[in-house]
Structure 1
Amino acid sequence: MIIDEKIKEQLKNEFLQLKEPVNLVLKSDNSQNSLKIEKLLEEIASLSEKITFLKEDFDTKYSPCIAINWPEKETGIRFAGIPVGGEFKTFIDSIIMVSRNEYDISERILEFLEEIDKPVDIKIFITNSCGWCPPAVKKAYSFALANDFIKATAIDCYLFQEEALKYNVSAVPKIVINDKVEFVGAREDNEFLGYIISAIER
């Protein structure tokens, strides 16, 4: 058992908010970490009939990596690592967000966001003990959910140390967009959108 029984009961109540089915898809590398994630996702999926756990390969260079998808369509929302610590709640919130197709973006910014028609790759480098990481992840996931051209991957710096070194991560959350624009910290909608547009135009 990965999840405490008391937490399971809380999650069952939270999952009453779910509207549409959600698939938790694991790209596994058969490591110990992958096995831990597999058990965790199986337990989460057992708490609601609207959640299905699958092991499949999908388009990402990270493994282990989780995608939170609709049954018939990818959302572009990915989590590379084990969603524990401060990121566990964010992960649960993201499942609910996908199921309800609701996101943390203002209507005004949403109008601009809908006009983006070029690929956008957002990497959010995180640690499980970072207080500013959850809002940054949630914001990036919201952008991915709102626009099919946008993919957002939260990357655990401890599990993917080489990747964190490659992108010179010295503080988290560090956000890298299309490998062209980067910044540190959580940002408001308009500022985040500005970074996305800047990355597309470069």
Structure 2
Amino acid sequence: MTEQRLLSPDVAQQVRSIFESEMKEPVQILYFTTSSGNCMYCDVTEQLLREVEELDDRIHLAVYDIDKDKEMAERYKITRVPATIIAALDGDKIHDYGIRFFGIPAEYEFSSLLHTITQVSKRESGLSQATIDFLKNLKDDINLRVFVTPSCPYCPNMVMLTHRMAIASPRVTSEMVEAIEFPEWAAEYGVTGVPHTVINDGLGTVIGAVPEGHLVHEIEHALMHLHGIEHDHHHHH
């Protein structure tokens, strides 16, 4: 029995033409699921990714089981599922920009998935030169975690902004977290509305969708805070 397709022929055709006009280089999707059976959206996320993979020859999907493929899970630091990594594929080498989707990239977040695939395939961030220069000069690692819900129309802008920053800098990692699937994780950061962006586990917080320059400013602010705290420690010793 064939399972019901998630993408209608109409949508599949639209996505195919987006990939055709926008994609350049090959993209590797690494998908982490679990065989332990307590993951409500793991199967449907896998199906969605398989349907997307079919739409362009440059997209390659590898599926891993977090319980059985422990080495891969550790290499990519995946402890929660469903987890999707969108990476560059150059020959047989995978280049991981640090882009993650935790939870199903559905509804509005489906556009984040598609735009991330096309952006990674271009091997460039599409950010302004000022932002690229700022990110190039980072001396600290930055993690940007964007809590979203699938029905939030403003969320993909923040997800894409953070994923672009991850492409622009090896020091930046970016994560979309679907808050409904990970309620404890969202509660940890007091997420009440989305998008809710967490910088370095709470060093900084950005509520709502903001322009590129605003997020840069918030990252700068968080870094000042980080170095201020480090500076204080030196005084006490």
TM bucket normalised to smaller: over 0.9
Task: Give distance in 1, aligned partners of 2:223 and 2:26.
Answer: 32
User: Out of 179, 200, 204, which is 1:181 matched to?
Assistant: 204
- For residue 21 of structure 1, report the CA deviation from its aligned partner: 0.5
Kindly indicate whether residue 48 of structure 2 is the aligned counterpart of residue 40 of structure 1. Answer: yes
**Unaligned runs of at least 5 residues, structure 2:** 65-72, 227-237
Task: Give distance in 2, aligned partners of 1:52 and 1:44.
Answer: 10
* Mapped contact 2:88–2:123 kept (Cα < 8 A): no
* Mapped contact 2:53–2:59 kept (Cα < 8 A): yes
* CA deviation string 1:114-148 (max 9, x = no partner): 10132111110001111210111111111111001
Task: Give distance in 1, aligned partners of 2:205 and 2:6.
Answer: 35
**Counterpart AA for 2:25:** E
Task: Give distance in 1, aligned partners of 2:28 and 2:139.
Answer: 26
**Counterpart AA for 1:59:** K
- For residue 29 of structure 1, report the CA deviation from its aligned partner: 2.1
CA RMSD of aligned residues (A): 1.3
Kindly indicate whether residue 69 of structure 2 is the aligned counterpart of residue 50 of structure 1. Answer: no
User: Out of 140, 146, 149, which is 2:168 matched to?
Assistant: 146
* Mapped contact 2:143–2:200 kept (Cα < 8 A): yes
Task: Give distance in 1, aligned partners of 2:46 and 2:128.
Answer: 35
Larger relative contact order (Cα-Cα within 8 Å, sequence gap ≥ 6): 1
In structure 2, the residue corresponding to 1:108 is in which secondary structure? helix
Aligned position for 1:64? 82
**Structure 1, 51-60 or 41-50: larger mean CA deviation:** 51-60
**Unaligned runs of at least 5 residues, structure 1:** none
**Counterpart AA for 1:5:** P
Task: Give distance in 1, aligned partners of 2:151 and 2:109.
Answer: 8
User: Out of 207, 214, 218, which is 1:191 matched to?
Assistant: 214
User: Out of 29, 32, 49, which is 1:27 matched to?
Assistant: 32
Aligned position for 1:18? 23
Task: Give distance in 1, aligned partners of 2:140 and 2:63.
Answer: 29
Stretches of 4+ moved more than 4 A in 1? none
* CA deviation string 1:56-87 (max 9, x = no partner): 32213321110000122101111111111111
**Structure 1, 25-34 or 83-92: larger mean CA deviation:** 25-34
Task: Give distance in 1, aligned partners of 2:12 and 2:161.
Answer: 26
Q: TM-score, normalised by structure 2?
A: 0.81
Task: Give distance in 2, aligned partners of 1:191 and 1:67.
Answer: 26
In structure 1, the residue corresponding to 2:166 is in which secondary structure? helix
Q: How many positions carry a matched residue from both structures?
A: 202
Structure index of larger Rg: 2
Matches within 5 A, 1:150-165: 150-165=172-187
Task: Give distance in 2, aligned partners of 1:194 and 1:13.
Answer: 36
